[in-house]
Copies of this chain bind each other. A is one copy, B any other.
Amino acid sequence: MSEPHPHPLYGKHAATLDRALTAIRERAYWSAFNESPSPRVHGEDAAPRGKAAFEAYLDANFSLDQPGTTGWVGGEKSPFGVPLDVRYPRPDVDALLGAATAAMPAWRDAGPQTRAGVCLEILTRLSENVFELAHAVQFTSGQAFVMAFQAGGAHALDRALEALAYAYAEMTRIPASARWEKPAGKGEPLRMDKTWHVVPRGVGLVIGCNTFPTWNSYPGLFASLVTGNAVVVKPHPGAVLPLAVTVKYAREVLAEAGFDPNLVTLAAEAPSEGLASVLALRPEVRIVDFTGSTEYGDWLEANARQAAVYTEKAGVNTVVVDSTDDFAGMCNNIAFSLVLYSGQMCTTPQNILVPREGIATEGGHKSFDEVAEGIGAAVGKLTGDPARGVELTGAIVNEGVLERLERARGLGKVVLDSRAVVHPTFGDAVVRTPLILALDADGEQAYGNEWFGPISFLVSTDSTEHSLEVFRRTVGRRGALTAAVYSRDDKVLDDVERAALDVGVHLSANLTGGVFVNQSAAFSDFHGSGANAAANAALTDGAYVASRFRIVQSRRHS
C-alpha cells in the first residue's frame, strides 16, 4: 500500500499546525483564535450575521441530512428565558453507528496530514461562524455573551487545535516508513522495508455537558477525529444547539473535502432518555469523552469497558489562604472567580481555607471575619449593578443548580447571601449572585463534597498547617480541578506545592491581578491532571491522545 498524497487543505493549514506544534512544546503564550468579539477583528457584518443565523434555527427543525433520522427531538430551555424550540434529528442508533463505521476506512487511509488539514478547515469554518456559535452557547448554557464568545468560541477552538496538535505530533513521532538494515557479520546485511500505519480505535463518542457544550467537547472530538476515528456527538439535552451547529459545519467541510460526512454525526435526545448509556455500551464505540457528574463518569468508566474512557467529573476546588501582601487584590481576585458564570465552572473555587485566628497582610493582621467580609464585599461590588453584574454572572444553567443553592443555605453561617437579579435585557432570565457560607473545618461532611453552582465555603481552620491537612484529605478523597494558595512565605508556598503534587491538582499562587484560578489558557495551562478523582485524564496532553489510535506495521524484504 503506497502512501497517500496529502489533501490541499493540509498545505493550506500547515503553517498554523506547525505553529501549534511549537506552542505545545513551549507552552508559553499563544492563541490561534482571537478572543475579542470586536468588529475590528471579525468585520462589521460578522456579529449581525451570526445573530441572524442563530435566530434562523429557532422554532424549526435543525436539518443535518444524516442517516437514520426517525423523528425530531427537542426541549432545550434557555436560562435567559428565551424560547428556543429547536428540533433535532432523533437517530436510529444502528443506522448512525453503521454509517460512522463505514466512513472510517477511507478516512484512515487518507493519512495524518490530510486528516489534520480537514480538521483545521473545520476549525476555520467554525471560527468564521463564531458569533453564531457564541449565541448558541449563550442561550443554552446561560453564559453571558462575552464569555460565550470567548470560552464557547475562541478558547474552545484553541483547545481543539491544541488537542489536534498533540494528536498530530503523536501520530507522526514515528516515521511512516523506514529501511531497516542489520549487519550480518561478513555476509550481506538483512534489509527490510517497514511501513507504519495509524489505525483508528473505532467510533468515538463525545458526551457534552450543559455548561460548556463546546469547550469541554472539542478536545475529544478533534483528537478522535484527526486520529482516524468517526465521532458521534451526544449533546446534553439542555445544550444541543452549539454542538448541532458544530456537527453541521464539520459535515459540510468533510463532504467538501471528499470524505463521508458521517464521520461526524449528532445523537440528540430529550432529557432522561438515556441515549448516552445506549451508545457508550455499543461494541462499535471504542472511545468515550465525557464531562459531567462524578456518578455518571464513574458509571461510564465501570461499564464502557470496550472503550477508552476519558472523564471530567466533579471535585472540591480549594483555596488555601495563609497570608498576603495585597489583601484587596486577593479579595477581588477570589471574588471574581466566584462571580464569573455564577460559580458554574468546574474550576470555580468552592472551599476557601482560612485560619480562624486570621492572617497577616500588608495592612497588618486581618481576622477570619475580616477576610470573609473582604471577599463578600468584593463579590457585592461586582454584582451590585445588575446591568454590569449579569455580564459576569450570566444565568443559572438549570433547575438542579437552583435546588442545590436552596439546600446549601443551611450548611453554614451566611457570609453573603445569594440574590435573585432581574436581567435588564432578558426579563425571564434566572440570575443569582454567589452564596458564601462560613463554617468550621469539622464540617467536612458539608464542604467535603462538591456543591456545583454559586456556592462557596469559607472554612475556618486551626492554622495553615491544618488547612493543608484539610486540603490533602478533601482533594485526596474527592479530587479537584484547581487549587490556589495565598502566602508571602516561600516555605508555605513550597509546602502547598508539594501537597498539590501529592494529591495531583494544578496550583495557582498569589493571584491578585488579571489571571483567575478558574481560567486556564490553551497551549499553556493544562485543564485537569488525571491525577485525582476529579478527572481520569488531563485535556490535551500526550496521554489524552496517544490511545485514540494504534500503530499497525507491515514489513517486507527490501
Residue numbers of A with Cβ under 8 A of B are 1, 24-29, 105, 108, 169-170, 173-175, 178-184, 190, 192, 194, 196-197, 199, 201, 301-302, 305, 493-494, 497-498, 500-502, 504-515, 521, 524-526, 529-531, 538, 541-543, 546-547, 550-557
Contacts of A190 in B (CB 8 A): 513-515
Partner of A178, one of B28, B497, B531, B552: B28
Cross-chain pairs A/B with CB under 8 angstroms, 11 sampled: A25-B173, A27-B180, A108-B501, A178-B524, A194-B524, A506-B553, A507-B554, A512-B557, A525-B555, A529-B550, A541-B551
Contacts of A173 in B (CB 8 A): 24-25, 169, 542
Which single residue of chain B is at the shortest CB-CB distance from A503? B552
- Alpha-carbon separation in the docked complex, A542 to B194 (Å): 19
Partner of A26, one of B175, B302, B550: B175
Shortest distance from the beta carbon of A173 to any chain B beta carbon, whole Å: 6
* Known A-B contacts A199-B531, A504-B199, A550-B529; A555 and B28 likewise in contact (beta carbons under 8 Å): no
Contact A24 B521 (CB under 8 A): no
Which single residue of chain B is at the shortest CB-CB distance from A498? B1
Contact A197 B501 (CB under 8 A): yes
Which single residue of chain B is at the shortest CB-CB distance from A520? B553
How many copies of this chain sit in the oligomeric assembly? 2
Contact A29 B552 (CB under 8 A): no
Contact A180 B547 (CB under 8 A): no
Contacts of A508 in B (CB 8 A): 554-556
- Alpha-carbon separation in the docked complex, A24 to B178 (Å): 11
Contact A550 B525 (CB under 8 A): no
Partner of A543, one of B194, B507, B546: B546
Contact A497 B554 (CB under 8 A): yes
Contact B184 A514 (CB under 8 A): yes
Contact B192 A515 (CB under 8 A): yes
Closest 7 CB pairs of A and B: A531-B550, A509-B556, A543-B546, A546-B546, A542-B546, A507-B554, A506-B553
Contact B529 A552 (CB under 8 A): yes
Contact B552 A505 (CB under 8 A): yes
Contacts of A513 in B (CB 8 A): 190, 557
* Known A-B contacts A25-B173, A27-B175, A530-B550; A525 and B301 likewise in contact (beta carbons under 8 Å): no
* Known A-B contacts A494-B1, A556-B510; A182 and B521 likewise in contact (beta carbons under 8 Å): yes
Contacts of A557 in B (CB 8 A): 510-513, 515
- Alpha-carbon separation in the docked complex, A121 to B557 (Å): 36
Contact A529 B556 (CB under 8 A): no
Shortest distance from the beta carbon of A2 to any chain B beta carbon, whole Å: 9
- Alpha-carbon separation in the docked complex, A501 to B197 (Å): 8
Contacts of A542 in B (CB 8 A): 170, 173, 542, 546
Partner of A553, one of B301, B507, B510, B515: B507
Contact B546 A174 (CB under 8 A): no
Contact A27 B178 (CB under 8 A): yes
- Alpha-carbon separation in the docked complex, A551 to B166 (Å): 15
Which single residue of chain B is at the shortest CB-CB distance from A172? B25
Contact B199 A497 (CB under 8 A): no
* Known A-B contacts A27-B196, A173-B542; A180 and B524 likewise in contact (beta carbons under 8 Å): yes
Contacts of A505 in B (CB 8 A): 552
Shortest distance from the beta carbon of A412 to any chain B beta carbon, whole Å: 29
* Known A-B contacts A305-B301, A542-B542, A547-B543; A554 and B509 likewise in contact (beta carbons under 8 Å): yes
Contacts of A553 in B (CB 8 A): 506-507, 525-526, 529
- Alpha-carbon separation in the docked complex, A180 to B521 (Å): 10
- Alpha-carbon separation in the docked complex, A104 to B521 (Å): 31
Contact A174 B529 (CB under 8 A): no
- Alpha-carbon separation in the docked complex, A182 to B515 (Å): 10
Shortest distance from the beta carbon of A325 to any chain B beta carbon, whole Å: 11
Which single residue of chain B is at the shortest CB-CB distance from A177? B27
